[in-house]
Amino acid sequence: MDKLVIYGGKPLRGKVRISGAKNASLAILCASIMAGEPVLLENVPDISDVRVMIEIIRHIGAEVTWEGDSSLRIIAPSKLAGDPPCELVKKLRASNLLLGPLLARFGHARVSLPGGCNIGVRPMDLHFKGLAGLGAGIDLHGGYAVGKSGPRLKGARIYLDFPSVGATENIMMAACLADGQTVLENVAKEPEIVDLANFLNCLGAKVRGAGTDIIKIEGVSELGGCMRYAVIPDRIEAGTFMVAAAATRGQVELENIIPPHVEPISAKLRDAGVDVTENGDVLTVGVNGPLRPVDIKTLPYPGFPTDMQSQMMAFLSTVEGTSVIIENIFENRFQIADELKRMGARIKVEGRMAVVEGVPALHGTQVRATDLRAGAALVIAGLMARGRTVVSNTCYIDRGYHQLEEKLRSLGADLTRMRHGDGSLL
């Protein structure tokens, strides 16, 4: 597996353009298999999770072609060529989002229970309950979820016990082709949900209320195509660069930002003494004064995103004073603390709480990414640290960051990828 070799201690300076959102792209790719006409998606990040999802939908019969660096033309299958292949589905948690579209469009689905990052148990009970509420029969056996929906799903009133992003997306997509009205209550409000709803509406669906607690969907008999739809910018990629700028005590202009989407991150960085200023779709992040410790609780949007928790932990590890982080979404998301401790951080983890005592500096060593965002956090730690840091398991980072090394190098970072089999650098 590849490794990233980082020589730290250089403040990041300059401009960086943020790519399209990974999580919105993955959900929209799943929705695109319900389209009756061709779809052109723009601002799609060329990252390994997106490539795996493209392979999966090709297996079920979709024609997918890249047009340029970031646009995809998709022609959905009129009949299924096969089930999503187990070996690819296991690589990607978001492949569970095919269940709703397959059931709604083709009346049946057989999807192996997906994998993804090692950040917690990640059950699918809310997805199954919602789809069953729309009239689907869902059976679990042999590691597969097998669903049948008769000729059509039926609109229903569905309440989610927890505002799960994936369950909201799956049920919302399925309800678009159900008979009658669906009312989804206590849904997730993440910007990616709104983006998916906008895309579905572009196909001719009737989805209202995305971004609020209640989504109402009037089922339609079929969906059309979409001449062009641009995916929103990635708020987590943006947040990662914001935190990297702050952590290296640098000054970075981020382009292609929707500022309200990153407000939970901007607000927390401002609390910590970081300057964050907005100008249209450009955000400038810099450190010009003393930094302060902060407390963080991860919550569903518009709370602080769990996907930014690890990066903030890396940053706070060198902010003088005591910061407390509470992880409310995924129970296994503090594995990063052990790696940061190897770099000299002082962090105590107790259950869902981590207490971070700021130290003057981290020192470079060999560390291992345990999931996508932990990998990003270790890159940030390496950029801050004295000396050389080697981050292994970079495949996790490649899942979600488009041209991370190129972008960081353009901001003055000293990092290189050591390809698998090239032992010369170690």
- Residues in touch with ligand UD1 (CB under 6 A): 23, 26, 93-94, 120-127, 162, 164-167, 188, 192, 306-307, 329-330
Question: Are 327 and 371 contacting, i.e. CB atoms less than 8 angstroms apart?
Answer: no
Q: Which residue, 195, 196, 209, 107, is CA-closest to 152? A: 107
CB of 176 to ligand UD1, least distance (A): 18
Nearer to ligand UD1 (CB atom), residue 25 or residue 394? 25
Question: Alpha helix (H) ranges present in 328-371?
Answer: 336-342
Q: Which residues contact 322 (CB under 8 A, 6 or more apart)?
A: 293, 355, 356, 357, 358
Amino acid at residue number 224: G
Backbone angles phi, psi at 122, to 5 degrees: 55, 65
Active site residue 117: yes
CB of 306 to ligand UD1, least distance (A): 5
CB of 7 to ligand UD1, least distance (A): 30
Give the whole-angstrom CA distance, residue 200 versus residue 405.
34
Question: Alpha helix (H) ranges present in 150-230?
Answer: 165-176, 191-202
Nearer to ligand UD1 (CB atom), residue 263 or residue 357? 263
Nearer to ligand UD1 (CB atom), residue 238 or residue 411? 238
Question: Are 232 and 24 contacting, i.e. CB atoms less than 8 angstroms apart?
Answer: yes
Nearer to ligand UD1 (CB atom), residue 188 or residue 207? 188
Q: Which residue, 86, 93, 100, 91, is CA-closest to 142? A: 86
CB of 98 to ligand UD1, least distance (A): 12
Question: Are 214 and 183 contacting, i.e. CB atoms less than 8 angstroms apart?
Answer: yes
CB of 261 to ligand UD1, least distance (A): 13
Q: Which residue is nearest to ligand UD1 (CB)?
A: 166
Given the residues 117, 176, 202, 226, the one annotated as active site: 117
Nearer to ligand UD1 (CB atom), residue 99 or residue 378? 99
Give the whole-angstrom CA distance, residue 425 versus residue 418.
7
- CB-CB neighbours of 69 under 10 Å: 11
Active site (catalytic) residues? 117
